[in-house]
Structure 1
Amino acid sequence: MMLDVLLLFSSICTAVGGRAPQTITGYRGERVDIRCSYESGYETYSKFFCKGKCNYKNIMVESGSPAEDERFSLTDDTTARVFTVTITDLRTEDQGLYWCGVERSITIDVYSEIMLLVKDGE
């Protein structure tokens, strides 16, 4: 069971078109797509994306539920085992530490860390 958790911690999160960065840069007013991969066997589990300390108050969007902030959306490609979080109309306050997560009912949830930087457009 512990090995299973460790394998999920090694999930790769990438920005669309990028090469597995842990830091993703977006530009104010534009959109960013954050891709989070997960291991086989978790296709039917709920996925979520949270900011800062990952608790239920900080979940920005999760699969099967509309986001409180409509700029955030989550789509899950279970064939590729990748869920994508899209943030539109990026704002300076969107910058910070985020977590891609897979909700598990028996053991702890598993997370991948993302640092989102928001810069002014050119």
Structure 2
Amino acid sequence: MAKSILTVDDSASIRQMVSFTLKGAGYSVTEAVDGQDGLEKARAGSFNLIFTDQNMPRKDGLTLIKELRNLPQYRNVPILMLTTESSEAMKSQGRSAGATGWLVKPFDPQKLLEVVRKVIG
């Protein structure tokens, strides 16, 4: 059974690129249009990995991560930030919120897959 990944980003083009890359490598992908949609889909499903952007309407990435970490089923699930934000202060906030790792946009599809394989196989 394919590992299931949730990708949360308000940019349709980024969601499509992430989805295309992951599906091409055999992963099952669910897309969410913002943090609130991501939280609802996470609650309704079960994911092995979650990617989230930081700057989104309705709920930003850090808030989404904090809320996911409060749900028993997502306490230990890897959550990766995929964002244009790259400052050390923002990365520190991400770690404090519970982010597993950080990738900066634009991303290299091969690097994305390398990271995914490291965290979930």
Same fold (TM over 0.5): no
Q: Which is richer in helix?
A: 2
TM-score, structure 1 normalization:
0.25
- Larger Rg: 1 or 2? 1
Q: Which is richer in strand?
A: 1
Higher relative contact order (CA 8 A, sep 6+): 1
TM-score, structure 2 normalization:
0.25
